[in-house]
Every structure is written in structure tokens, then in C-alpha cells.
Amino acid sequence: MSSPESNFRRWFRGSGEGAKPSATAKTASRTSRRCIGLGEFLRGLSGAQERLSVLDLGPTSPANISFLTEMEARVYNEDVLRATRDPSYMARQEDGTEQLDPQKFFAENCNYAEGTFDAILFWDLADYLPEVLVKPLVERIQAVLKPKGMLLALFHTKDAGPESPYYRYHIAGRDVLELEQGPNFRLQRIFNNRHVENLFKDFSSRKFFLGRDNIREVIVVR
């Protein structure tokens, strides 16, 4: 078994073994890191006149729910990645293999009215989702975001290997995230900047933050 610290370092490969971020602290089961993108994301939400609706697409996080409800936001939670493991969404292909059927999947997931959300926490879903869901999910997200609505996404760097552990993200402060090693999902792909721009090309703006630990944080505005 590898320790959470070694997994954390593996996740941020490229920062060097000794280049531990200064704002990072480790606990028994979670590791915290500074997240400038989160700070920017929350600052963008703070001036809202109306009550916010925020969608968290990660695993259920009591800390996130607590933090967001304290902001008086209406919080929606949907663990999209976990839902992809539901066998009822699989369809048999012509070659006999089974593959996730986006139509079946989206009939029961991310099924919201257009323009429902002011903000979406996308985390690093795009790195782990099955290929057939990535673009349809981004299209769906664009539809359910309000105009000027924001999305926070994280992307692994090119140095991260397929064995990079999957982490759950917990908001621990206005610019602090806690990482907790989560279910065993495999990293599917690595996006570079151009890939990210293409992925969110129909949005009005994309803002990149590259931390000292080489993780790419992206804020996208519809």
C-alpha cells in the first residue's frame, strides 16, 4: 500500500519529489492544497444578487455541502463518475462488446432544465470519464449553466500516469481544497491546454491557473 503522501506526489508528478507546495498540509487521510482557481471561482460567485444554484458533480462531500449552503446557495449534488458504473446504462455494440450508452445515461443523469445553475464544480471528471461521455457532458453542462455561469475544472498535467489515484475534493476554505483518495477510477486521458480550449470552445471564456504543483485549474464562463 502506498501512503497518501506518495500518492499525492504521484498525482502532482512533475513538481518533483521534494517540491511540496508551501500551502500544503497532510492529515491522516486527506491532504490539503491551495487552489487559486477555487478562490477565483468563489470570488466570482460572491457578488451574486440572487440566491445561487450550484451543482457539484463530484462524490457526495459533506464539507462541500456545508460550505456552499453556508453561502446560502442551493446545492445540487450528482456523482457522475459513480453513475457511469451502473450496468443499466450499458448497451451491446455490433461487435458484441458492451459500452456505455450516452442516451440512456443522460436520461437519468445531469437531467436539468436549461439555465438552472450559476456555477458547476466539475473537478477532474474529464480525465476519468469514458470517452463517449466527455463531449456530451460538456454540451449538457453548457446548456444547464446560466449565461455568465461559471465552471471550475481541474486537469492532470502531462506528467501524470494512468496509475494516478482518483481523489475526492473537499472545500476546506475559500482557496483550500482537501484531497481524499476515493474510489478506484482509472485516469483515461490527459488534456493539454489546447485540448481544454477545444473541449470548452463553445463557452465565452476560459481562464487557466497553473499552480506550482503543476496542476491545471480552469475556470470556464458560459
CB of 185 to another protein, least distance (A): 16
Question: One symbol per residue from 28 to 67: x for binding another protein (CB under 8 A), - otherwise; what is it?
Answer: xxx-x------------------x--------x-xx-xxx
* Cβ atoms within 10 Å, residue 203: 18
**Contact with another protein (CB under 8 A): which of 20, 170, 216, 222?**
170
For residue 164, the tally of other CB atoms under 10 A from its CB is 21
Q: Nearest distance from residue 206's CB to another protein, in Å?
A: 27
Backbone angles phi, psi at 76, to 5 degrees: -115, 140
DSSP string spanning 72-104?
A: T-EEEE--HHHHTT-GGGEEE-TTS-EEE-HHH
Question: Which residues fall within 8 angstroms of residue 32, CB to CB, at 6 or more apart?
Answer: 23, 24, 25, 26, 172, 176, 177, 178, 179
Binding segment (CB under 8 A) for another protein, from list 157-165, 172-180, 192-200, 208-216: 172-180
Residue 176 contacts another protein per CB under 8 A: yes
Which residues of the chain form contacts with another protein (CB under 8 A)? 23, 25, 27-30, 32, 51, 60, 62-63, 65-67, 69-72, 74-79, 82, 111-113, 116, 170-176, 178, 180
